Amino acid sequence: MIAKITYNTKNYNIDLLNPLDISMPLRGNASNVNAWYVDPPKILPHTQGDFVGKVAEGASTNFNDISFNPHAHGTHTECVGHITEEFHSVNKCFDHFFFMAQVITIAPEKYKGDFVISKKQLKYALGNKKRQAIIIRTLPNLSDKLSRQYSNSNPPYLLEEAAELLVECGVEHLLIDLPSVDKERDNGALLAHKAFWNVKGAIRHKATITEFIFVANTIQDGKYFLNLQVAPFENDASPSRPILYKILD
């Protein structure tokens, strides 16, 4: 099924039958990806009195309770409400869900004992491209990202200057395969979050950050249409399912 999408007055053809899912599945056990020092997510049959919501135990239906934290347990999209006193819901950020996107691959570089993504690296990867969304795949890109336990591991992160560059380039949606765009322990500085949402100026209420994606090695760097699907939670962050579509033209 070929769909025609118009972007900036130009028509593009995309193949809706060949989506490229860059989200992580959520599993209710310790094999699930994890960060921020919390327990694994739980998916368990609901119990109430003698009732156990599991067909194998005599119920008519499987009826599970699910407990998880969107920031710690998988692919999620967050808005500026993640770092503000005032409540902002990611469910209010979107009036459309398709965006012109660029996939880039970056090997974080050493900086003051950490591994980081710098302005120079982003500038080289993006060149003069103008995209609504940027999808960052970091190297090494191994399948263990789907189950890695990130707490106390000091993962790579974006420098403040890199986030500022994305704002200058007009990027509205930043997607990355790390647990955060900021350093794991930074005493609450959150420099990249704050820069991307421009909290010191006119706050970018429509801008979002999606963390914990997984971009398979079979997906080449380049231009795609992104369908950013967000579960309608009234919360600063929500589980999400970003889907890429190749541009056929």
Whether 249 shows a pLDDT value over 80: the answer reads: no
Confidence of residue 2 (pLDDT cuts 50, 70, 90): confident
Q: pLDDT for 206-244, tens place per residue?
A: 999 999 999 999 999 999 999 999 999 999 999 999 999
- Alpha-carbon separation of residue 158 from 31, 110, 168, 185 (angstroms): 27, 12, 15, 13
**Domain boundaries in the chain?**
2-246
The token duo for 210 is 């999606």
Mean pLDDT within 48-76: 97
| Confidence check: pLDDT of 6 > 90 | no
For the beta carbon of residue 239, count every other beta carbon within 10 angstroms.
Answer: 20
- Calculate mean pLDDT across residues 28-35: 98
Token readout for 8 is 């900036």
- Position 61 scores a pLDDT of 97
pLDDT tens per residue across span 126-164: 999 999 999 999 999 999 999 999 999 999 999 999 999
User: In this structure, what token pair is assigned to residue 240?
Assistant: 């999400």
Q: Is the pTM of this model over 0.95?
A: yes
% of the chain with per-residue pLDDT over 90: 94
State yes or no: pLDDT of 77 exceeds 80: yes
Q: Grade residue 7 by pLDDT with cuts at 50, 70 and 90.
A: confident
Question: What superfamily in CATH does domain 2-246 come from?
Answer: Putative cyclase (3.50.30.50)
Write out the H or E segment, with its range, that includes residue 245. Answer: strand 237-246
What's the pLDDT band for 185 if we cut at 50, 70, 90?
very high
